[in-house]
Every structure is written in C-alpha cells, then in structure tokens.
C-alpha cells in the first residue's frame, strides 16, 4: 500500500509517497521551505502543494513538532503560539482531499526506526531522541509507542533538556563535540534513571555525525546508544506508516 507522508519542520515541509510495507519512498521527496511566520493557513497551503505535486488525494499522515492529541495541537514550544488548539487533522484534510492522521514528529521518526531502522525487532524499552532545533522523544515497549512523551522538556540543571543539549544549542554556543556530549550524557543518564531503557536511538540531522559524539558519551551504566538509520526520511515514513495503523 502506498500512502503520502508529510513532515512539517521549522525550516522545511517535506513529503513523499511511501510504500508502508517496506518503508521505501516510491518517488523522490518534495520539499518546500516552511512559510514565515508559519501560521496554520499558510502551512496548510504548502501541505496542499505537496499533495498536488504527487497528484495524491488519499489518506495522508502528517507530522508536527508538538503534542498532538486526536488531531489537535496542544503545545507550541518551537512553533507559532496560534497553533495551540488547532484541529489540524480537519484543517489539513480540507487542503489535501483525503483523511489526515496527525502525529508528533519524534513519534513518527521513532515509528520508522522501530519498524524499518535501528530499532527493528527490538523488544523491551527503546527511547528514540531527535536532536535538532528542540529535542523530540519517542518511547516504545516491545515496539508499541507511548505517544507524546516530550522528554526534551525534562529539567536538567533547572533548564529544559532541549535548551542544553539540542543540536541548535551546540551550534549557537559553538560547543566542542566533547562539551556537547557531556550535556547529552547528563540527559541520557537522567532518562536511564527514570525509565531503565534497553536501547537509545539518536536521530535528527546530527545522527549522520554519530562517530563525533557517541564515543565521548559518559554514561553511568553500559547503556546501548546507536544512531538512527533512516536519516532525513524518518518523519515522512513514520507519518505514512501511522496512517496504516489507524
Ligand atoms: C516539542 C516536541 C517536538 C520536539 C522536536 C519540542 O520542543 O515540544 O513536541 O517533538 O521539539 O521537534
């Protein structure tokens, strides 16, 4: 079955039709820069352009970087505050000509990794973290997702973890890989104390540079930490896959 997946991010909105059995894109992904300001109606226009590009009118899965409950956006840590309370499934469905399933961006990326990537066939507790502008999270027990975990807002040294250890913070503060790995280690150790996971998967753009920071991690236990395998496409694939699970 082929379903359209769309990944809404702070800088780009990307989509592609996905074979949800194999996790492969069946056409090259199409990307449009995120409109600024990223208000609901302008983002919906871009989503429509992506569906049009593929001449697609069926069920569509769409990610969003916030808590999403039954299609409604509940938080706005890194997006315009006007999104809070928006019934995004209904809004986008009017623009794409088919039913829409909304899912948190990190949950979508986690689903893709668990099904087709670094978490494939992994039982037990797996935590996926996406390190980008913010920190997204997804937690799984025996492959089943507990949605909207939001670990990036856990307090570390009195600050949201994403304000200390995201990729953006590394760049803004010009931290060395070692300095940044120390911050990431504190966060991983706290998650280990709280959830005793069997595996951490690190995703987001930074996962391409895993060899630069994974060796510098200082963990309290011999935790297994691996980088994500699906790279940039995880959100699109997870979004499309989540539609098929409804
Ligand atoms: C948001 C999450 C999102 C993450 C990554 C956080 O600030 O609260 O919902 O998954 O950023 O985009």
- What is the DSSP annotation of 145-180? EE----GGGSEETTEETHHHHSHHHHHHTT--HHHH
pLDDT averaged per 10 residues in sequence order, the chain, 246 residues: 96 97 97 97 98 96 98 96 98 95 98 98 97 96 98 98 97 97 97 97 92 94 93 94 86
String of DSSP letters for 197-239: -SEEEEESGGGGGHHHHGGG---SS---EEE-SSGGGHHHHHH
C-alpha 173/C-alpha 221 separation (Å) is 28
Verify whether ligand 1 is closer than 6 Å to residue 166 (CB atom).
no
pLDDT at 187: 98
- Nearest atom in ligand 1 to the alpha carbon of residue 148 is 9
Q: To test the ligand 1 pocket, which listed residue (111, 137, 150) has its Cβ within 8 A of the most ligand atoms?
A: 150
> Is 113 strand, coil or helix?
helix
Verify whether ligand 1 is closer than 6 Å to residue 7 (CB atom).
no
- Nearest atom in ligand 1 to the alpha carbon of residue 10 is 12
Q: How far is the CA of 137 from the centre of ligand 1 (A)?
A: 8
Verify whether ligand 1 is closer than 6 Å to residue 63 (CB atom).
no
Verify whether ligand 1 is closer than 6 Å to residue 152 (CB atom).
yes
Q: How far is the CA of 129 from the centre of ligand 1 (A)?
A: 10
**Measured torsion, CA atoms of residues 118, 120, 125, 128, in degrees rounded to the nearest 10:** 40
Q: How far is the CA of 85 from the centre of ligand 1 (A)?
A: 16
Residue whose C-alpha is closest to residue 23's, from 96, 113, 146, 138: 113
pTM confidence score: 0.97
Q: How far is the CA of 55 from the centre of ligand 1 (A)?
A: 30
Other C-beta atoms closer than 10 Å to the C-beta of 42 total 14
C-alpha 49/C-alpha 81 separation (Å) is 24
CATH fold for domain 122-229? Nucleotidyltransferase; domain 5 (3.30.420)
Asked if the domains 2-107+233-244 and 122-229 are classified in one and the same CATH topology, the answer is yes
Domain ranges within the chain, ordered by starting residue: 2-107+233-244, 122-229
Correct CATH for 2-107+233-244 of 2.60.120.1440, 3.30.420.40, 3.40.1410.10, 3.40.50.720 = 3.30.420.40
pLDDT at 223: 87
C-alpha 18/C-alpha 3 separation (Å) is 5
CB 237 within 8 A of CB 103: no
C-alpha 130/C-alpha 166 separation (Å) is 9
pLDDT at 44: 98
Nearest CA to ligand 1 atom 5: 136
Residue whose C-alpha is closest to residue 66's, from 94, 38, 35, 30: 38
Verify whether ligand 1 is closer than 6 Å to residue 110 (CB atom).
no
Q: How far is the CA of 152 from the centre of ligand 1 (A)?
A: 7
pLDDT at 231: 81
């Amino acid at each position: 079955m082929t379903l359209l997946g769309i990944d809404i991010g702070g800088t780009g909105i990307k989509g592609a039709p996905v074979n949800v059995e194999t996790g492969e894109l069946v056409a090259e992904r199409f990307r449009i820069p995120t409109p600024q300001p990223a208000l609901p109606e302008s983002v919906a226009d871009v989503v429509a352009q992506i569906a049009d590009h593929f001449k697609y009118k069926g069920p569509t899965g769409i990610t969003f970087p916030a808590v999403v409950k039954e299609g409604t956006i509940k938080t706005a840590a890194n997006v315009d505050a006007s999104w809070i309370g928006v019934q995004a499934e209904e809004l986008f469905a009017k623009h794409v000509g088919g039913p829409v399933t909304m899912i948190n961006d990190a949950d979508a990326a986690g689903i893709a990794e668990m099904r087709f990537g670094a978490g494939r066939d992994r039982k037990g507790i797996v935590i996926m973290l996406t390190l980008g502008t913010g920190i997204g999270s997804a937690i799984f027990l025996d492959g089943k997702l507990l949605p909207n975990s939001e670990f990036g807002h856990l307090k570390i040294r009195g600050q949201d973890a994403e304000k200390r250890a995201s990729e953006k913070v590394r760049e803004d503060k010009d931290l060395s890989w070692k300095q940044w790995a120390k911050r990431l280690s504190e966060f991983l150790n706290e998650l280990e104390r709280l959830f005793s996971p069997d595996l951490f998967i690190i995703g987001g753009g930074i996962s391409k540079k895993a060899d630069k920071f994974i060796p510098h991690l200082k963990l309290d236990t011999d935790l297994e930490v691996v980088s994500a395998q699906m790279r940039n496409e995880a959100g699109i694939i997870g979004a499309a896959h989540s539609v098929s699970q409804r």
